């Protein structure tokens, strides 16, 4: 028995779709909340399985988790116990590694299983480890588990060889309780990092420079509870903008910070998408002219997001001419191309690039979500394709997209879940 998503493609989309809170902020904010001695209330929590896994980890540590509303969480660490995190929930998502930073910061000791997450090729965490060591932690690796410990953490300058999102967040979480000042040089600048810094500062942290390449953290003695609202999910928004470009007659994507999507909006304008935006909405209207091909290179923010590479690839199968897509973040992140080719696309992959030869007609068939954003690309392709697309391994999609079937059905898509043998 397996649950799949089925799409009968070719239906025009109309209406308004609302974006949820950002997954990649949420998965950092929840581990960050345990740094507090008090209650942290976060609103705008997306209803996705990664959140469920994090809640499981919190409850395992005796943290009281309540959800006054579906999109709210209250995290109370009063009775928290710093147990070794060697449970299955840790392996279900990459972001469980944020407990390394937060528990090391708070307790100066953490034992944790190797994190899981999407298979996008090699995903080392050497920069996280280097940062923790620079702060004074000793790291042991034993049979798939990391053990980090320190007598005390002392602020220092840490240069990241690559502007890693995860390493930036993890190091700053450990550094909030370090003695003195920590400076992260060549820090990542993604909006989710700023969101995390904003919440930590509300808790009493002293962090400056979020959104720039130099983040300065002055260590403090104690963090308190706070109230925080999560930023909208720019990747979910971008996915819906792309599928509106593919099949929309008139679609409004609501609860968006358009600035977070500048690179996508520019690319879409370039290929001929009829797109405009206001304060917190993006509007896509049908353009009767076919789209033109383009070249795109994924980059750290504010460059084109790697997480929107796969959905854009699906759209570019409909553009006239050859589009070259180059990955600079995860050079092997092209598994969706094989799946799209099964549907009739003509994509030639030679890592770190792929060439989409368009336009091609897409036809529904059985495909597999090999990772979260591959799943998103297959939804885009399934909406375009003639016939029925059956997407397998949809647990990847459920890790990051809240209610995708209900949201797209409301726009007029013929999409549903089915249990098959």
Give the catalytic positions in this structure: 118
Strand partners, 389: 7
Q: Given the complex with ligand EPU, which of 128 and 228 has the nearer CB atom? A: 128
Q: How far apart are CA 413 and CA 276, in angstroms?
A: 22
Q: Tell which positions 385-404 bind ligand EPU, by CB under 6 A.
A: 400
Smallest gap from Cβ 24 to ligand EPU, in A, equals: 3
Q: Which member of 18, 94, 234, 267 binds ligand EPU (CB under 6 A)? A: 94
Q: Given the complex with ligand EPU, which of 162 and 227 has the nearer CB atom? A: 162
- Confirm or reject binding of residue 330 to ligand EPU (CB under 6 A): yes
- Confirm or reject binding of residue 166 to ligand EPU (CB under 6 A): yes
Q: Which member of 7, 137, 167, 253 binds ligand EPU (CB under 6 A)? A: 167
For ligand EPU, which stretch binds (CB under 6 A), given 135-143, 157-165, 214-222, 314-322?
157-165
Smallest gap from Cβ 230 to ligand EPU, in A, equals: 13
For ligand EPU, which stretch binds (CB under 6 A), given 77-85, 140-148, 163-171, 264-272?
163-171
- x/- track of binding to ligand EPU for residues 279-308 (CB under 6 A): ---------------------------xx-
Task: Find, among 421, 167, 170, 412, the residue nearest to 286 by Cα.
Answer: 412
Smallest gap from Cβ 38 to ligand EPU, in A, equals: 25
Smallest gap from Cβ 45 to ligand EPU, in A, equals: 15
Q: How far apart are CA 313 and CA 396, in angstroms?
A: 18
Strand partners, 73: 42
β 295-297/274-277 pair status: unpaired
Smallest gap from Cβ 341 to ligand EPU, in A, equals: 21
- Confirm or reject binding of residue 312 to ligand EPU (CB under 6 A): no
For ligand EPU, which stretch binds (CB under 6 A), given 115-123, 151-159, 197-205, 338-346?
115-123
Residue with tokens 């690309």: 377
Q: Which member of 5, 95, 187, 337 binds ligand EPU (CB under 6 A)? A: 95
Smallest gap from Cβ 16 to ligand EPU, in A, equals: 24
- Confirm or reject binding of residue 240 to ligand EPU (CB under 6 A): no
- Confirm or reject binding of residue 373 to ligand EPU (CB under 6 A): yes
- Confirm or reject binding of residue 228 to ligand EPU (CB under 6 A): no
- Confirm or reject binding of residue 164 to ligand EPU (CB under 6 A): yes
Q: Over the chain, what HEC string results?
A: CEEEEEEECCCCEEEEEECCECHHHHHHHHHHHCCECCEEEEECCCCCHHHHHHHHHHHHCCCEEECCCCCEEEEECCCCCCCCECCHHHHCCHHHHHHHHHHHHHHCEEEEECCCCCCCCCCCCHHHHHHHHHCCCEEEEECCEEEEECCCCECCEEECCCCCHHHHHHHHHHHCCCECEEEEECCCCCHHHHHHHHHHHHCCCEEECCCCCEEEEECCCCECCEEEECCECHHHHHHHHHHHHHHEEEEEEECCCHHHHHHHHHHHHHHCCEEEECCCEEEEECCCCCCECCEEEECCCCCECHHHHHHHHHHHCCCEEEEEEECCCCCCCCHHHHHHHHCCCCEEEECCEEEEEECCCCECCEEECCCHHHHHHHHHHHHHCECEEEEECCHHHHCCCCCHHHHHHHCCCEEEEEEEC
Q: Which member of 9, 18, 22, 24 binds ligand EPU (CB under 6 A)? A: 24
- Confirm or reject binding of residue 126 to ligand EPU (CB under 6 A): yes
For ligand EPU, which stretch binds (CB under 6 A), given 57-65, 118-126, 274-282, 344-352?
118-126
Smallest gap from Cβ 120 to ligand EPU, in A, equals: 6
Q: Which member of 22, 54, 199, 372 binds ligand EPU (CB under 6 A)? A: 372
Quote the tokens at residue 404.
């995708």
Task: List interacting residues with ligand EPU (CB under 6 A).
Answer: 24, 27, 94-95, 118, 122-128, 162, 164-167, 188, 235, 306-307, 329-330, 372-373, 400
């Amino acid at each position: 028995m397996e649950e799949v998503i089925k799409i009968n493609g070719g239906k025009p989309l109309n209406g308004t779709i609302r974006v949820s809170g950002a997954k990649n902020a949420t998965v950092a904010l929840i581990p960050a909340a345990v740094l507090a001695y008090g209650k942290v209330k976060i609103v705008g929590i997306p209803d996705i399985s990664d959140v469920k896994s994090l809640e499981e980890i919190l409850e395992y540590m005796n943290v009281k988790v309540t959800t006054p509303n579906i999109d709210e969480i209250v995290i109370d660490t009063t009775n928290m116990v710093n147990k070794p995190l060697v449970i299955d929930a840790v392996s279900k998502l990459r972001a469980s590694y944020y407990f390394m930073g937060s528990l090391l910061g708070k307790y100066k000791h953490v034992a944790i299983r190797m994190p899981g997450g999407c298979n996008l090729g090699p995903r080392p965490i050497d920069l996280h480890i280097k940062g923790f060591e620079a702060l004074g932690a000793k790291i042991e690796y034993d049979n798939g588990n990391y053990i980090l410990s320190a007598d005390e953490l002392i602020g220092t300058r840490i240069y990241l060889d690559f502007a890693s999102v995860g390493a930036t967040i993890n190091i700053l979480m450990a550094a909030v309780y370090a003695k003195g000042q920590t400076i992260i040089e060549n820090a990542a600048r993604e909006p989710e990092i700023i969101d995390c810094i904003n919440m930590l500062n509300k808790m009493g942290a002293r962090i400056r420079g979020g959104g720039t390449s130099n983040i300065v953290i002055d260590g403090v003695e104690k963090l308190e509870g706070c109230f925080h609202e999560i930023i909208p999910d720019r990747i979910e928004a971008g996915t819906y903008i792309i599928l509106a470009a593919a099949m929309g007659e008139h679609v409004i994507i609501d609860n968006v910070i358009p600035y977070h999507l500048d690179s996508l909006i520019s690319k879409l304008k370039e290929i001929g998408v009829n797109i405009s935006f206001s304060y917190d909405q993006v509007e896509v209207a049908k353009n009767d002219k076919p789209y033109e091909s383009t070249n795109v290179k994924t980059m750290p923010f504010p460059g084109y997001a790697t997480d929107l590479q796969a959905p854009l690839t699906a759209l570019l199968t409909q553009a006239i001419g050859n589009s070259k897509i180059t990955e600079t973040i995860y050079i092997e992140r092209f598994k969706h191309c094989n799946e799209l080719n099964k549907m009739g696309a003509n994509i030639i992959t030679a890592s770190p690039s792929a060439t989409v030869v368009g336009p091609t007609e897409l036809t529904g068939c059985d495909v597999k979500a090999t990772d979260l954003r591959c799943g998103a690309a297959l939804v885009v392709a399934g909406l375009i394709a003639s016939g029925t697309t059956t997407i397998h391994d949809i647990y990847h999609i459920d890790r990051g997209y809240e209610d995708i079937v209900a949201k797209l059905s409301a726009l007029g898509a013929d999409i549903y879940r089915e249990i098959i043998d």
